[in-house]
C-alpha cells in the first residue's frame, strides 16, 4: 500500500530564510546568496547584447555553451571563479562590500 506524503508549502523572503528552510549552514547560505546576486547581474549584462556569447567566452577563457548557460541562469557546475572571469570579460568587475549579519 503506497503512503502519500503531505507536503507543506513554506514561503521565504530572504536568502537567509531560504538557507534555513533548506537546512543549509550559514556559510553555504552566504555562498548561495553571493552566487545568486552575481548570476542575476551577469544575466542582465550578457542579455544587454553588447557582446556576443562567443566574444565573452573567448575573453573569459571558457566555452560559448557555458556563457549561454549562465545567461539562462543555469550556473550548476559553474565555479564562482568562472562567473567572475565572465563578469570581467564583459568589462565589469565585482565590488566587495562586507557587513555584519544580524545575530
Instruction: Please state, rounded to an integer, the average pLDDT across all residues of the chain.
Output: 90
Contact 23, 29 (CB under 8 A): no
Q: Kindly state whether residue 54 falls inside one of the protein's structural domains.
A: yes
Indicate the angle between helix axes 26-47 and 80-89, nearest 10 degrees: 30
Number of Cβ within a 10 Å radius of residue 2: 3
- Mean pLDDT along residues 76-94: 94
For residue 49, give its domain range: 25-89
The pLDDT assigned to 3 comes to 67
Q: How many domains does the chain contain in total?
A: 1
The pLDDT assigned to 101 comes to 75
CA atoms of 41 and 92, how far apart (whole Å): 10
CATH number for position 60: 1.10.260.40
Residue whose C-alpha is closest to residue 19's, from 35, 37, 32:
32
For residue 70, pLDDT over 70 is answered with yes
Amino acid at each position: 500500500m503506497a503512503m502519500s506524503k503531505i507536503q507543506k508549502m513554506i514561503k521565504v523572503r530572504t536568502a537567509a530564510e531560504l538557507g534555513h528552510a533548506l537546512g543549509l549552514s550559514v556559510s553555504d547560505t552566504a555562498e548561495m546568496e553571493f552566487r545568486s546576486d552575481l548570476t542575476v547581474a551577469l544575466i542582465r549584462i550578457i542579455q544587454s547584447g553588447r557582446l556576443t556569447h562567443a566574444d565573452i567566452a573567448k575573453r573569459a577563457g571558457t566555452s560559448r555553451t557555458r556563457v549561454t548557460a549562465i545567461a539562462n541562469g543555469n550556473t550548476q557546475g559553474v565555479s564562482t571563479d568562472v562567473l567572475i572571469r565572465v563578469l570581467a570579460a564583459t568589462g565589469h568587475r565585482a565590488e566587495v562590500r562586507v557587513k555584519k549579519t544580524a545575530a
